[in-house]
């Protein structure tokens, strides 16, 4: 197999994209903390430009707080909250939105610089443009999610929350995959690895599905129920799994079903990833693909431990945030393993 070293321009662009990935990673984790601290509904307006500046005077704070007092969350959950307490949740949500704006700047400014210096290939331009458009749409989707909790029920829609999470992960994966493509020189893939590549793709898809079910667990606050392991209140299949009508709604709105599905996919991963590792070790793999398989197996143990601890301790914020971050790490390692098998430097 013949491979070449990536040019310096590709390395620079890849480094920039990996920085964007790190910022998106932080954005996902901070979004989880915002939800867990009930801060996400504290800002009741979406102003992408002016909203970057928080209230600065007492009158501005009073006006912002008065707007929050009209929301279902204040009326039904936080009635009597002081201005100081409101500032605590406001700044959490403000930081989340500010980070989203910073990601836009961190993406757009280097993009324009590299474009002006003619360091971006023609094939890469549409990919980068798609990333930027998806980022803008993600911001709009985030506000669409928040709006669902400002009407009657002081909780955002689990469907919109999961969609918001899913798009964030898709953007993250697209940028990471593109960066890896710039760092790993293109080479002819080994036909003998076709089967293990398909296995890696299936594992990656399963991890993504696990993240989606985690979104519904978060959206329905299902982690605060059935806080036992390995059984769910003494049963493998909990009571009331299909008590809702229509039947399909149980998959997305029934707390017992939502948590059971999340556990079930975790069990499947506990079978699939060790089997993937075992099969990978039985063939001649490129060095980076072998490393990816080792890291994926090792992090699975960490992530499962975080999930069990989060459940048993009834979703403390630090553990829950670590569990959400761990899911994205597991997904990243699955993507890395898949990419290393698709395009490699050789054995």
Residues 91 and 75 grouped into a single domain = yes
Which residue in 331, 47, 342, 39 sits closest to 196, CA to CA? Answer: 342
Structure confidence at residue 186 (pLDDT): 62
Residue 306's pLDDT band, with cuts at 50, 70 and 90, is very high
Q: What is the pLDDT of residues 110-123, one digit of tens each?
A: 999 999 999 999 99
The count of structural domains within the chain is 2
Residues 58 and 180 in one domain: yes
Q: What pLDDT, in 10s, does the model give residues 176-198?
A: 999 999 998 666 666 778 899 99
- In this structure, are 50 and 85 located in the same domain? yes
Most confident region among 47-56, 263-272, 334-343 by mean pLDDT: 263-272
Same domain, 162 and 213: no
C-alpha separations of 287 from 201, 280, 283, 342, 344 in Å = 19, 11, 12, 13, 9
61-93: burial string, b at 16+ Cβ within 10 Å, e else = beebbeebeebebbeeebeebeeeebbebbebb
Q: Are residues 119 and 217 in the same domain?
A: no
Statement to judge: residues 160 and 283 lie in one domain: no
* pLDDT exceeds 90 at position 261: yes
136 and 49, same domain (yes or no): yes
217 and 121 inside one domain: no
């Amino acid at each position: 197999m013949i491979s070449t070293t990536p040019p310096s321009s590709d390395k620079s662009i890849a480094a920039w994209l990996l920085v964007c990935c790190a910022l998106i990673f932080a954005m996902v984790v901070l979004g989880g903390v915002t939800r867990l601290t009930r801060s996400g509904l504290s800002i009741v307006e979406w102003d992408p430009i002016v909203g970057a500046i928080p209230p600065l005077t007492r009158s501005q704070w009073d006006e912002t707080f008065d707007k929050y007092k009209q929301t279902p969350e204040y009326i039904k959950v936080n009635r009597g909250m002081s201005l100081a307490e409101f500032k605590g949740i406001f700044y959490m949500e403000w930081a989340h939105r500010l980070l989203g704006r910073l990601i836009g700047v961190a993406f757009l400014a280097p993009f324009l610089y590299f474009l002006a210096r003619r360091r971006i290939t023609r094939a890469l331009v549409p990919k980068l443009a798609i990333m930027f458009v998806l980022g803008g749409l993600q911001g709009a989707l985030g506000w669409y999610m928040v709006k669902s909790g400002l009407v009657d029920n002081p909780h955002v829609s689990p469907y919109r929350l999961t969609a918001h999470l899913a798009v964030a992960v898709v953007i993250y994966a697209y940028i990471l995959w593109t960066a890896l493509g710039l760092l790993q020189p293109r080479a002819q893939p080994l036909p003998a690895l076709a089967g293990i590549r398909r296995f890696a793709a299936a594992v990656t898809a399963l991890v993504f599905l696990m993240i989606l079910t985690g979104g519904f667990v978060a959206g329905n606050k299902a982690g605060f129920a059935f806080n036992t392991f390995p059984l769910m209140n003494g049963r493998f299949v909990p009571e009331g799994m299909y008590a809702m009508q229509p039947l399909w709604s149980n998959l997305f709105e029934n707390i017992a079903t939502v948590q059971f599905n999340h556990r079930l996919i975790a069990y499947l991963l506990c079978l699939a990833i060790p089997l993937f590792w075992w099969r990978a070790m039985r063939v001649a793999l490129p060095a980076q693909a072998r490393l990816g398989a080792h890291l994926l197996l090792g992090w699975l143990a960490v992530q499962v431990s975080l999930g069990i601890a989060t459940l048993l301790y009834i979703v403390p914020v630090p553990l829950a945030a670590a569990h959400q971050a761990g899911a994205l790490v597991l997904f990243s390692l699955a993507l890395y393993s898949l990419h290393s098998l698709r395009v490699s430097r050789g054995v």
